[in-house]
Amino acid sequence: MRIALLGYGKMGKMIERIAEGRGHEVVLVVDENNRADCTVAQLQKAEVAIEFTVPAVAVDDYKWCMDAGVPVVSGTTGWLERWQEVVDYCRERNGGFFYASNFSVGVNIFFRLNKYLAKMMDNFRNYKIFIEETHHIHKLDAPSGTAITLAEGIIKNHSAYHSWKLYQGEELDEGVLPVEAKRIGEVPGIHGVTYKSGMDEIEIRHSAFSREGFAQGAVLAAEFMAGKRGVYGMDDLLSDKLRF
């Protein structure tokens, strides 16, 4: 498969290595230094684009790919307030878009577990819930996209919570789920969901050892997207395996 890489940072470089290891060819690499010189014709040489950049440019990148008719896989976080605009643009252009706030297969198993636990704990209201995430100090957005997905999974499945808030030590209103974001060293990503009562606590936790799991998931998504139109996510990629 011929791939265009939009963004050539830590993720872009790892994706290149994994994609080439799986027999794919990177035909275009775009970063902030050459973005202005890249043409639609160059982009169209690729069968799929993989986009890992920064929140400020992600949506423009998606539109560039959709206008060019090249399906795009992206994991850039911090732009989701424009989600509906992107989905509408994709449908209008009959484009292909695959988005995941976290491409790790392990995290997507964790997402399912999180929803299942929230549903179960809806019957046990003496437990208060909080989410905690830890990432490296270079991460631009807080809380992480993964923590937001976890919060949304709880809100949909536990009737005591209606919204989430980035927790900075203050008292939160009833029904608001606290999400704490810590930035430490080079941590690739730790997410925990804790249910705490006066007597005990239950915690589920995912810890990534490196970025490799994210990069591999993105390449699998690119293989899945070749020739596809429409909007997809990890549930589509893993639907055969993630049943319970």
Q: Are 75 and 100 in contact (CB under 8 A)?
A: yes
Which run of H or E residues covers position 163? strand 163-166
CB contact at 8 A, 72 and 97: yes
Query: How long is the chain?
Result: 244
Question: Residue 48 pairs with which residues in a beta bridge?
Answer: 3
Q: Is 54 in the site for ligand NAD (CB under 6 A)?
A: yes
Nearest residue to ligand NAD, using CB? 9
Q: Which of 26, 28, 70, 76 binds ligand NAD (CB under 6 A)?
A: 76
Query: Per the structure block, which two tokens stand in for 70?
Result: 């090249």
Residue 103 contacts ligand NAD per CB under 6 A: yes
Is the distance from CB of 104 to CB of 144 less than 8 angstroms?
no
Q: Which of these segments, 8-16, 62-70, 173-181, 193-201, binds ligand NAD (CB under 6 A)?
A: 8-16
Q: Which residue type sits at 150? A: L
Which candidate in 139, 165, 196, 228 is catalytic?
A: 139
Chain-centre distance for alpha carbon 101: 1
SS3 of 127-187: the string is CEEEEEEEECCCCCCCCCHHHHHHHHHHHHHCCCCCEEEECCCCCCCCCEEEEEEEECCCC
Residue from 10, 63, 196, 229 in contact with ligand NAD (CB under 6 A): 10
Give the up-direction half-sphere exposure of residue 116: CA atoms within 13 A in the CB hemisphere: 10
What the block records as the tokens of 177 is: 């789920």
Q: Does 134 bind ligand NAD (CB under 6 A)?
A: no
Answer yes or no whether residue 195 interacts with ligand NAD by CB under 6 A. no
For the CB of residue 50, give the shortest distance to ligand NAD in the complex, in Å.
11
Q: Does 149 bind ligand NAD (CB under 6 A)?
A: no
Q: Among 1, 31, 42, 113, which residue interacts with ligand NAD (rule: CB under 6 A)?
A: 31
Task: CB nearer to ligand NAD: give 69 or 78.
Answer: 78
Interaction of residue 52 with ligand NAD, rule CB under 6 A: yes
Q: 107 or 117, CB closer to ligand NAD? A: 107
- For residues 57 and 70, which CB has a smaller minimum distance to ligand NAD in the complex? 57
Instruction: Give the residue with the Cβ less far from ligand NAD, 121 or 151.
Output: 151
> Pick from 143, 134, 135, 4: which is nearest to 62 by CA?
4
Residue 101 in contact with ligand NAD, rule: CB under 6 A: yes
Residue type, 34: N
Whether 135 is catalytic is yes
Residue 77 is a binding residue for ligand NAD (CB under 6 A): yes
Residues 224/232, Cβ–Cβ less than 8 Å: yes
Positions annotated as catalytic residues are 135, 139
Where along the sequence are the contacts to ligand NAD (CB under 6 A)?
6-12, 30-32, 35, 52-54, 57, 75-78, 100-103, 139, 211, 214
